[in-house]
Structure 1
């Protein structure tokens, strides 16, 4: 592990982790070719915040996941999947008038698969501030959200703002992954303004290089991290793809190299795995360098499977992976 000036993260205490988002059905093509032509698909469950919840649970944490589903087979599959993964379903609401969203994903030999979303007007898009205000914050110490939730609808945008305010009012540590999805937003301007506003109110922000480039016009992880700090975040963790990750609190900075894998099967879900790794380590009271190492490891493991969350490990598998893998070369980021 390469460490420059490590960071002790304050404000994170053991407890439940609240996540709010859209759980979706995932149909992954069983063979290469256009989704309109392939003959078979495998069914599973996806959703950024749900992926993080699963990753956290497998690493010994206590996630609480809120979503809304339709009264349909995909919604029932999400409930079944959550129970199979020991996730609390008490905050899953059912909507009699809206359907559960789903997505289709192509299979490719190399590169990123094509993904098609069917989520407009979904049950989860009807989540609103009233749902947030009804949350019992007892025992919750950390709230993690992504930029997907506020992009789904006007009501989820207001719910996202309410989530941040609820967390701040209850001394809950706020983690935010901008997770840009331009196709979901009405305009680029609205996306930028909203993501910057939510990032400014976060204790920890977890952008990638692409978000730093789009929101600030920057390409260097050091500069991107500092830009998010100057924007208002307490800590910034910048994902540098397979090369590693950089973190800063505006004074100190630490870069940890990533893990080499033999071949990338699918990159979808890797960022969610990274977030689960980082957050689980911080909830254990570990320093930032250890959190980055764990995040990089979990993210690398998730790239080895087609499912968005099947590769998320328990602690035993994670430790074996870290012990047996080569690290990427350390980059100069200053």
Structure 2
């Protein structure tokens, strides 16, 4: 019998949550009705990549409950490989509640501990789908859930490097999950093992102090990172590559802003799509910026993540996608 290796474009490791989105905007104390959604930092990026047509895989754990089954069904329906997702009997699936203000900004209140991802161990990593991928995507969220996760992610990154898998990282700092000092100490260690960085300006400011985009990129390069992008929100993004050149592309103006959550995740998915397609730096930033502008027009963690055909229609000027 011939063993067939399935090469995935992107895989990730991270938790998942049921996200309760408010039906109306404003302070959460006045929100009485919520809609059940699926959320999670790394999960959202995999959804975004899958909708762009990339082959994706997800390493995680959920509770053996109705919410956990809902998440699994949702991810499978989006085409994400859940082979390395296990339903754990002794854990509940985490939940969070969102608050969305009138201007699209918001806050998230987490009820995620104890997390079922606590059962992910060294053996889980070694037997995962990482070696079969082109890209391993990691963020700072999963390492922040518990101290041991930092070493688990380092092991995953090492396994990727040993198998010529490119490691892409977004620091994605959540100060509700760890202190600024803990985040900086752990993320500097993790970034030193990454090949590509996709960071927001706020995360970079926390890691290196407030400075210009160019200085931040130089700080990333000093860690051995050869390419990536610094996301500037409404000001677009600055990309860099092995040529040591910087390229700033302005943001694509959004028709409306319903919810800013998920824009960075959409950018990351678009950037990795550009990597898989061997786009130039300019093409990659343009594609990723376009996705970011489309995401903010829709309320929800991942509801606004577009399909490839929608992005291409807008970029090619064929028609305006109604979202």
TM over 0.5: yes
CA contact (8 A) 1:127 1:155 kept: no
Between the aligned partners of 2:26 and 2:237, the Cα distance in structure 1 is 34
Structure 1 residues 256 and 74 mapped into 2: Cα distance closer, same or farther (>3 Å)? same
Q: Please list, as runs of the form range in 1=range in 2, the aligned pairs for 1:133-212 lying within 5 A after superposition.
A: 133-185=126-178, 187-212=179-204
User: 209, 213, 218: which is aligned to 1:217?
Assistant: 209
2:3 is aligned to none
- The question of 1:32 aligning with 2:25 is answered yes
Q: Please list, as runs of the form range in 1=range in 2, the aligned pairs for 1:79-118 lying within 5 A after superposition.
A: 79-118=72-111
- The question of 1:131 aligning with 2:124 is answered yes
2:4 is aligned to none
- For each residue in 1:55-112, what CA deviation from the matched residue of structure 2 results, as whole angstroms up to 9, or x when unmatched? 1111111011111000112111101111221211211111111111111112321141
2:41 is aligned to 48
Structure 1 unmatched runs, 5+: 1-13, 326-334
Shift of 1:174: 0.2
- The question of 1:321 aligning with 2:302 is answered no
CA contact (8 A) 2:239 2:248 kept: yes
- For each residue in 1:120-163, what CA deviation from the matched residue of structure 2 results, as whole angstroms up to 9, or x when unmatched? 21112442322111114453111001000111012322211111
CA contact (8 A) 2:24 2:31 kept: yes
SS at match of 1:43: strand
Moved more, 83-92 or 249-258: 249-258
What TM-score do you get using the length of structure 1 for normalisation?
0.89
Alignment RMSD (CA, Å): 1.7
- For each residue in 1:277-329, what CA deviation from the matched residue of structure 2 results, as whole angstroms up to 9, or x when unmatched? 0001110111111111111111111111111111111121102223459xxxx
1:247 is aligned to 239
Between the aligned partners of 2:82 and 2:228, the Cα distance in structure 1 is 31
- The question of 1:230 aligning with 2:228 is answered no
Between the aligned partners of 1:188 and 1:38, the Cα distance in structure 2 is 31
CA contact (8 A) 2:8 2:57 kept: no
CA contact (8 A) 1:278 1:294 kept: yes
User: 298, 306, 310: which is aligned to 1:305?
Assistant: 298
CA contact (8 A) 1:143 1:174 kept: yes
SS at match of 1:55: helix
User: 273, 284, 288: which is aligned to 1:280?
Assistant: 273
2:321 is aligned to none
Between the aligned partners of 1:316 and 1:111, the Cα distance in structure 2 is 26
Moved more, 107-116 or 259-268: 107-116
- How many equivalent pairs are there? 311
Kindly report structure 1 stretches of 4+ aligned residues shifted beyond 4 Å: none
- The question of 1:120 aligning with 2:113 is answered yes
